[in-house]
Amino acid sequence: MDWLGTEILTGFQKLLCLGLDRQPAGEVIPGTVRAWLEALTTGRVWDQERDTARIRQAFVLLAQTQRTWPAPRDFLDALPPSPMPVLRLARPASNPEVAKKALAEIGRMVGSSGPAEPKAPRQRQPEAIPLSQVQAELERHYRGDKS
Protein backbone atom coordinates (compact mmCIF):
# COMPACT_ATOMS: atom_id res chain seq x y z
CA MET A 1 0.00 0.00 0.00
CA ASP A 2 1.37 3.43 -0.85
CA TRP A 3 1.54 6.42 1.48
CA LEU A 4 -1.93 7.71 0.55
CA GLY A 5 -3.53 4.34 1.30
CA THR A 6 -1.67 4.22 4.61
CA GLU A 7 -2.94 7.69 5.54
CA ILE A 8 -6.53 6.75 4.67
CA LEU A 9 -6.28 3.48 6.62
CA THR A 10 -4.86 5.36 9.63
CA GLY A 11 -7.70 7.89 9.43
CA PHE A 12 -10.23 5.05 9.19
CA GLN A 13 -8.77 3.38 12.28
CA LYS A 14 -9.36 6.57 14.26
CA LEU A 15 -12.90 6.95 12.91
CA LEU A 16 -13.69 3.31 13.72
CA CYS A 17 -12.91 4.04 17.37
CA LEU A 18 -15.74 6.60 17.38
CA GLY A 19 -18.46 4.06 16.56
CA LEU A 20 -20.10 6.29 13.93
CA ASP A 21 -23.46 5.33 12.46
CA ARG A 22 -23.21 3.35 9.20
CA GLN A 23 -19.51 2.59 9.68
CA PRO A 24 -18.29 -0.37 7.64
CA ALA A 25 -17.56 -3.66 9.34
CA GLY A 26 -13.92 -4.31 10.12
CA GLU A 27 -13.59 -7.05 7.49
CA VAL A 28 -14.60 -4.68 4.67
CA ILE A 29 -12.23 -1.85 5.64
CA PRO A 30 -9.53 -2.96 3.13
CA GLY A 31 -12.12 -2.82 0.33
CA THR A 32 -13.37 0.52 1.64
CA VAL A 33 -9.81 1.89 1.53
CA ARG A 34 -9.47 0.71 -2.10
CA ALA A 35 -12.80 2.35 -3.03
CA TRP A 36 -11.73 5.60 -1.37
CA LEU A 37 -8.35 5.50 -3.12
CA GLU A 38 -10.08 5.13 -6.46
CA ALA A 39 -12.47 7.98 -5.69
CA LEU A 40 -9.72 10.27 -4.40
CA THR A 41 -7.08 9.59 -7.05
CA THR A 42 -9.19 9.69 -10.19
CA GLY A 43 -8.47 13.05 -11.79
CA ARG A 44 -6.29 14.22 -8.88
CA VAL A 45 -2.60 14.20 -8.09
CA TRP A 46 -1.50 13.80 -4.51
CA ASP A 47 1.94 14.72 -3.20
CA GLN A 48 3.18 13.12 0.01
CA GLU A 49 5.15 16.16 1.16
CA ARG A 50 2.36 18.63 0.43
CA ASP A 51 -0.68 16.55 1.34
CA THR A 52 0.11 14.31 4.33
CA ALA A 53 -0.61 17.01 6.93
CA ARG A 54 -3.73 18.10 5.04
CA ILE A 55 -5.08 14.52 4.97
CA ARG A 56 -4.50 14.13 8.69
CA GLN A 57 -6.23 17.45 9.38
CA ALA A 58 -9.21 16.37 7.28
CA PHE A 59 -9.61 13.18 9.32
CA VAL A 60 -9.41 15.20 12.56
CA LEU A 61 -12.16 17.50 11.28
CA LEU A 62 -14.27 14.50 10.24
CA ALA A 63 -13.81 13.00 13.73
CA GLN A 64 -14.96 16.28 15.25
CA THR A 65 -18.01 16.79 13.04
CA GLN A 66 -19.32 13.51 11.61
CA ARG A 67 -22.06 11.48 13.25
CA THR A 68 -22.21 9.02 10.38
CA TRP A 69 -19.43 7.33 8.42
CA PRO A 70 -18.09 9.87 5.91
CA ALA A 71 -18.04 9.49 2.15
CA PRO A 72 -15.05 10.54 0.03
CA ARG A 73 -16.92 13.78 -0.75
CA ASP A 74 -17.09 14.58 2.99
CA PHE A 75 -13.33 14.01 3.19
CA LEU A 76 -12.65 16.33 0.25
CA ASP A 77 -14.87 18.99 1.82
CA ALA A 78 -12.89 18.68 5.08
CA LEU A 79 -9.52 18.83 3.32
CA PRO A 80 -7.74 22.14 3.99
CA PRO A 81 -6.55 24.12 0.97
CA SER A 82 -3.10 23.33 -0.34
CA PRO A 83 -0.41 25.54 1.21
CA MET A 84 1.67 25.34 -1.96
CA PRO A 85 0.56 27.51 -4.84
CA VAL A 86 -0.37 25.88 -8.12
CA LEU A 87 2.34 26.59 -10.64
CA ARG A 88 1.16 28.14 -13.87
CA LEU A 89 3.27 28.23 -16.97
CA ALA A 90 3.96 31.75 -18.10
CA ARG A 91 3.27 32.55 -21.70
CA PRO A 92 6.63 33.07 -23.36
CA ALA A 93 7.35 36.57 -24.62
CA SER A 94 6.72 36.77 -28.33
CA ASN A 95 9.71 37.31 -30.55
CA PRO A 96 8.96 39.30 -33.74
CA GLU A 97 11.78 37.58 -35.62
CA VAL A 98 10.48 34.12 -34.74
CA ALA A 99 6.98 35.21 -35.74
CA LYS A 100 8.19 36.51 -39.13
CA LYS A 101 10.03 33.25 -39.81
CA ALA A 102 6.99 31.20 -38.82
CA LEU A 103 4.73 33.31 -41.05
CA ALA A 104 7.14 32.96 -43.97
CA GLU A 105 7.23 29.19 -43.49
CA ILE A 106 3.43 29.04 -43.35
CA GLY A 107 3.27 31.14 -46.51
CA ARG A 108 5.60 28.72 -48.29
CA MET A 109 3.58 25.75 -47.09
CA VAL A 110 0.26 27.26 -48.15
CA GLY A 111 1.60 28.40 -51.50
CA SER A 112 3.07 25.01 -52.45
CA SER A 113 0.57 22.59 -50.96
CA GLY A 114 -2.04 22.63 -53.75
CA PRO A 115 -2.56 19.53 -55.91
CA ALA A 116 -1.54 19.51 -59.58
CA GLU A 117 -5.11 18.84 -60.71
CA PRO A 118 -8.09 20.46 -59.02
CA LYS A 119 -10.36 18.14 -57.06
CA ALA A 120 -14.10 18.04 -57.56
CA PRO A 121 -15.72 20.65 -55.33
CA ARG A 122 -17.09 19.40 -52.02
CA GLN A 123 -20.51 20.37 -50.84
CA ARG A 124 -20.67 23.39 -48.54
CA GLN A 125 -17.07 24.51 -48.84
CA PRO A 126 -16.14 27.17 -46.33
CA GLU A 127 -15.39 30.63 -47.62
CA ALA A 128 -11.70 31.01 -48.48
CA ILE A 129 -9.77 33.37 -46.23
CA PRO A 130 -7.12 35.42 -48.00
CA LEU A 131 -3.55 34.56 -47.06
CA SER A 132 -2.88 38.18 -46.14
CA GLN A 133 -5.68 38.05 -43.54
CA VAL A 134 -4.30 34.83 -42.03
CA GLN A 135 -0.83 36.36 -41.86
CA ALA A 136 -2.18 39.52 -40.23
CA GLU A 137 -4.05 37.46 -37.60
CA LEU A 138 -0.94 35.40 -36.87
CA GLU A 139 1.16 38.55 -36.52
CA ARG A 140 -1.38 39.97 -34.04
CA HIS A 141 -1.35 36.67 -32.14
CA TYR A 142 2.44 36.50 -31.84
CA ARG A 143 2.64 40.16 -30.81
CA GLY A 144 0.15 39.36 -28.05
CA ASP A 145 -2.55 41.74 -29.26
CA LYS A 146 -5.92 41.04 -27.69
CA SER A 147 -7.96 42.77 -30.40
Residue 107, C-beta contacts closer than 8 angstroms, at least 6 positions apart: 131, 135
Helix-then-strand count for the chain, H and E = 6, 0
Give 74-115 pLDDT, tens digit per residue: 999 999 998 766 566 666 677 888 888 888 888 888 875 544
Looking at per-residue confidence, does 78 or 140 come out higher? 78
Q: Is the distance from CB of 21 to CB of 69 less than 8 angstroms? A: yes
Question: 61-85 as b/e, with b when 16 or more CB fall inside 10 Å?
Answer: bbbeebeebbeeebbeebbeeeeee
Residues 23 and 65 in one domain: yes
Q: Which residue has the higher pLDDT, 71 or 1?
A: 71
Residue 142, domain extent: 93-109+130-147
Which of the two residues, 96 and 12, has the higher pLDDT score? 12
Same domain, 68 and 100: no
Residue 114 is predicted with a pLDDT of 47
Same domain, 16 and 68: yes
pTM of the model as a whole: 0.56
